């Protein structure tokens, strides 16, 4: 999504773009996004909502770890982005009056999420792809589909191109560029099974990391509270199900064997609604995930005694559900064999998103209050007109640029926007915002900085040839060592990848401890040693898919170390990062960005203070109340009634 947005914005200005993708661009992982995209509009404004409220919710939801100025700019641009997408022909759901419809989403008491049924990502990516194909027909965009990014090419410390490989012919070649935009998404495959596509290895970001780019907040991994457990992968059940009134519950009696329809309301424990009466089922994802995990794993209250809870939509009109949630209901029925319109879904949390990513910088905008604002502490904030350039300076060349000049990070691979926890429906927004707003920064860098004086096209071939030779040598080493029918776990890349996923899921997801993280780092060291001796089972030099995966496993191991090391050094609990040995948030020592560097084959982390000049941190509680399965003191509050 971010790549398409950036390509369209840059090509619109007349600058030629080479667009690389390991799959057809219309099949990039954003196509799987379901629930919606956040923005204040006039209908939301009539509820008392505003762009500032969106900004405030995002900072509060991210437990005050996000970069505040970029988030303010993103929230201010959000209504403009929705209007632009509407003009592109994205088929947003509409009310009977013809207004764009809105739904509730986690972390807000306001309806501010625009949507296209339950296939919003697909509709948005198709709309942006049409724009890119328009510029492709004009010769401004050249697509390289089924090509894999291998390494950034640096010259005098500046990124001047990339090395990439044709996944069919396995040809490796260099491409010169005056700027490079990484829009490669997340790293779900590091955890084995996740809601991500199998292409989401994080390898592209890891290769930039190994080449010298810094990585921010690697430990901040989002576990989505609602997914279908599966033997092969985990399939997302969108937050939109809860936003449309879905209720999470378990029987009050452990291991109750009755069918859900036979369990009366009085014998159901709607634990989110009891613990968080104001937000109910639409608490942010990190909170919902920990509560579900606690109910199932710690209290043994899961449905049928297993790690699963009910996500119940059966109290809603089936035709209404089909109109609003048809896409995800079909997914559940296809893979489980039950119709969620009439039978509650059985779900459990799953790895879903990486808030961390390549570190990037920015230039502050015009808004600079003398006193930091804080809605949650001091009541309604001072009014702010949502003007362009308040959060970030429009066109500043360093907006979303990494520490390597000329190398940019857009979308999920950019660490800046979500802090310690992403609010649902902010992902699609951050992707498109980066392309639309920070695409101007790329253009200005090309025009006014080093590329304008010393373009990549005129640089000597040495830097480009060296990287091609480096990547060719890596390929030759793997293919020459191939051993047909290799099934030995110690040297088989698929076994190593499976063990990596199991270890990272056990140590670095919902609950983390110092002892377990140290054990994880030791296991990663063992896996890296085994990886140095891997043997492919296929030596083919044409369309060798096992080769591509084996290469990615090495990159995933590097990224996994950054995740585990950051989680170990962050001795607090904040957002998605929960340490049972350090259960409180520690703003004094850790209201800082985790900055990972990879130098000399080793990864190190340090903590860099963040700029909290717009909103001061406060306790993040969402009005929590104590609750237990026997409690009858708090009447259930349906999300639809909030």
Higher pLDDT, 449 or 354: 354
In the predicted structure, residue 637 carries a pLDDT above the cut 60: no
In the predicted structure, residue 195 carries a pLDDT above the cut 90: yes
pLDDT of residue 483: 87
pLDDT of residue 452: 82
Q: State the Cα–Cα distance between residues 583 and 173, nearest whole angstrom.
A: 49
What is the CATH code of the structural domain delimited by 2-220+355-458?
3.50.50.60
pLDDT of residue 642: 25
Nearest to 5 by CA among 426, 435, 414: 435
Q: Could you count the other beta carbons within 10 Å of the beta carbon of residue 545?
A: 10
In the predicted structure, residue 634 carries a pLDDT above the cut 80: no
By annotation, the residues acting in catalysis are 285
Q: What percent of the chain has pLDDT over 70?
A: 96
In the predicted structure, residue 380 carries a pLDDT above the cut 80: no
**274-327 pLDDT tens trace:** 999 999 999 999 999 999 999 999 999 999 999 999 999 999 999 999 999 999
In the predicted structure, residue 549 carries a pLDDT above the cut 70: yes
Question: For the chain, what is the mean pLDDT?
Answer: 94
Q: How confident is the model at residue 383 (pLDDT cuts 50, 70, 90)?
A: low
Q: Could you count the other beta carbons within 10 Å of the beta carbon of residue 111?
A: 18
Sign of torsion over alpha carbons 374, 376, 382, 385: positive
In the predicted structure, residue 384 carries a pLDDT above the cut 80: no
State the DSSP code for 267: G
As given in the structure block, the two tokens for residue 544 are: 């060798």
Q: How confident is the model at residue 381 (pLDDT cuts 50, 70, 90)?
A: low
Q: How confident is the model at residue 636 (pLDDT cuts 50, 70, 90)?
A: very low
In the predicted structure, residue 626 carries a pLDDT above the cut 90: no
**393-435 pLDDT tens trace:** 999 999 999 999 999 999 999 999 999 999 999 999 999 999 9
Nearest to 248 by CA among 223, 282, 278: 282
pLDDT of residue 374: 75
Scanning the structure block, which residue is given the tokens 């500043």? 396
**426-475 pLDDT tens trace:** 999 999 999 999 999 999 999 999 888 899 999 999 999 999 999 999 99
Q: How confident is the model at residue 631 (pLDDT cuts 50, 70, 90)?
A: very low
Nearest to 556 by CA among 189, 285, 19: 189
Buried b / exposed e across 202-232, counting CB within 10 Å, b at 16+?
A: bbbbbbbbbbbbbbbbbbbbbbbbbbbbeee
In the predicted structure, residue 568 carries a pLDDT above the cut 80: yes
In the predicted structure, residue 635 carries a pLDDT above the cut 50: no
In the predicted structure, residue 629 carries a pLDDT above the cut 80: no
In the predicted structure, residue 329 carries a pLDDT above the cut 60: yes
In the chain, what is the straight-line distance between the N-terminal and C-terminal CA atoms, in Å? Answer: 32
CATH domain 482-593 topology: Methane Monooxygenase Hydroxylase; Chain G, domain 1 (1.20.58)
Task: Indicate the domain borders of the chain.
Answer: 2-220+355-458, 236-348+622-641, 482-593
- CA distances (Å), origin 467, targets 37, 160, 379, 464, 473: 39, 12, 56, 6, 10
Q: State the Cα–Cα distance between residues 552 and 201, nearest whole angstrom.
A: 7
pLDDT of residue 382: 60
**486-526 pLDDT tens trace:** 789 999 999 999 999 999 999 999 999 999 999 999 999 99
As to burial, measured by CB atoms within 10 angstroms (0-12 exposed, 13-18 middle, 19+ buried), residue 419 is buried
**109-168 pLDDT tens trace:** 999 999 999 999 999 999 999 999 999 999 999 999 999 999 999 999 999 999 999 999
pLDDT of residue 11: 97
pLDDT of residue 368: 82
Q: What percent of the chain has pLDDT over 90?
A: 89
SS3 category, 39: coil
In the predicted structure, residue 78 carries a pLDDT above the cut 50: yes
pLDDT of residue 268: 98
Q: State the Cα–Cα distance between residues 587 and 491, nearest whole angstrom.
A: 44
In the predicted structure, residue 638 carries a pLDDT above the cut 50: no
Q: How confident is the model at residue 385 (pLDDT cuts 50, 70, 90)?
A: confident
Q: State the Cα–Cα distance between residues 75 and 72, nearest whole angstrom.
A: 5
pLDDT of residue 376: 66
Q: What value does the mean pLDDT take over residues 329-349?
A: 97
Contact indicator for 438, 181 with CB cutoff of 8 Å: no
Q: How confident is the model at residue 641 (pLDDT cuts 50, 70, 90)?
A: very low
What is the CATH code of the structural domain delimited by 236-348+622-641?
3.90.700.10
pLDDT of residue 232: 86
SS3 category, 10: helix
**28-52 pLDDT tens trace:** 999 999 999 999 999 999 988 999 9
Q: Could you count the other beta carbons within 10 Å of the beta carbon of residue 376?
A: 17
């Amino acid at each position: 999504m971010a790549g398409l947005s950036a390509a369209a914005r840059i090509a619109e200005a007349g600058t030629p773009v080479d667009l690389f993708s390991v799959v057809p661009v219309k099949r990039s992982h954003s196509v799987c996004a379901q629930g919606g995209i956040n923005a204040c509009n006039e209908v939301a404004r009539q509820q008392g909502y505003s762009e500032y409220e969106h900004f405030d919710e995002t900072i509060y939801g991210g437990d005050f770890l996000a970069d505040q100025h970029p988030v303010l700019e993103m929230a201010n641009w959000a209504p403009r982005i929705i209007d632009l997408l509407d003009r592109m022909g994205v088929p947003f759901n509409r009310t009977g009056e013809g207004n764009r419809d809105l739904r509730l989403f986690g972390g807000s008491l306001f309806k501010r999420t625009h949507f296209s049924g339950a296939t919003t990502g697909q509709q948005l990516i198709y709309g942006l792809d049409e724009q890119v194909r328009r510029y492709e027909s004009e010769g401004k965009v050249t697509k390289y589909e089924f090509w894999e990014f291998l390494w950034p090419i640096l010259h005098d410390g500046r990124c001047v191109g990339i090395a990439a490989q044709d996944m069919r012919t396995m040809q490796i070649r260099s491409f010169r560029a005056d700027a490079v935009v990484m829009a490669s998404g997340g790293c779900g495959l590091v955890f084995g099974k996740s809601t991500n596509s199998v292409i989401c290895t994080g390898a592209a970001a890891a290769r930039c990391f190994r080449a010298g780019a810094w990585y921010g907040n690697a430990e901040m991994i989002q576990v989505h509270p609602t997914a279908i457990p599966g033997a092969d992968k985990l399939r997302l059940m969108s937050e939109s199900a809860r936003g449309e009134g879905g209720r999470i519950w378990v029987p009050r009696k452990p291991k109750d064997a009755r069918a859900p329809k036979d369990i009366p309301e009085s014998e159901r424990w709607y634990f989110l609604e009891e613990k968080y009466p104001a937000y109910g089922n639409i608490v942010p994802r990190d909170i919902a995930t920990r509560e579900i995990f606690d109910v199932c794993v710690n209290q043994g209250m899961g449905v049928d005694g297993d790690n699963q809870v009910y996500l119940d939509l059966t109290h809603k009109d089936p035709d209404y559900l089909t109109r609003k949630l048809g896409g995800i209901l079909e997914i559940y029925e296809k893979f489980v064999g039950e119709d969620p319109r009439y039978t509650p879904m059985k779900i459990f949390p799953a790895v879903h998103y990486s808030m961390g990513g390549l570190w990037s910088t920015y230039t502050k905008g015009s808004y600079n209050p003398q006193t930091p604002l804080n809605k949650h502490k001091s009541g309604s904030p001072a009014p702010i007109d949502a003007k362009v350039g308040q959060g970030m300076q429009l066109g500043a060349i360093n907006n979303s640029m990494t520490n390597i000049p000329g190398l940019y990070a857009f979308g999920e691979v950019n660490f800046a926007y979500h802090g310690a926890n992403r609010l649902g429906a902010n992902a699609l927004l951050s992707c498109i915002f980066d392309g639309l707003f920070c695409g101007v920064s790329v253009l200005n860098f090309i025009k006014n900085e080093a590329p304008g004086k010393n373009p990549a096209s005129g640089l000597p071939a040495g830097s480009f040839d060296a990287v091609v030779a480096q990547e060719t040598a890596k390929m030759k080493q793997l293919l020459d060592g191939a051993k047909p029918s290799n099934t030995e776990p110690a040297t088989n890349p698929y076994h190593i990848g499976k063990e990596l996923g199991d270890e990272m899921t056990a140590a670095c997801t919902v609950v983390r401890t110092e002892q377990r993280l140290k054990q994880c780092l030791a296991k990663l060291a063992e896996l890296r040693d085994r990886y140095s001796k891997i043997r492919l089972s296929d030596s083919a030099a044409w369309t060798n898919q096992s080769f591509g995966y084996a290469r990615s496993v090495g990159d995933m191991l590097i990224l996994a170390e950054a995740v585990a090391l950051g989680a170990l050094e962050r001795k607090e609990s904040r957002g998605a990062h929960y340490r049972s040995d350090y259960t409180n948030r520690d703003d004094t020592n850790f209201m800082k960005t985790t900055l990972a560097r990879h130098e000399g084959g080793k990864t190190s982390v340090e903590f860099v203070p963040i700029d909290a000049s717009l909103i001061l941190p406060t306790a993040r509680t969402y009005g929590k109340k104590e609750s237990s399965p026997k409690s009858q003191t708090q009447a259930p509050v349906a999300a639809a009634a909030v």
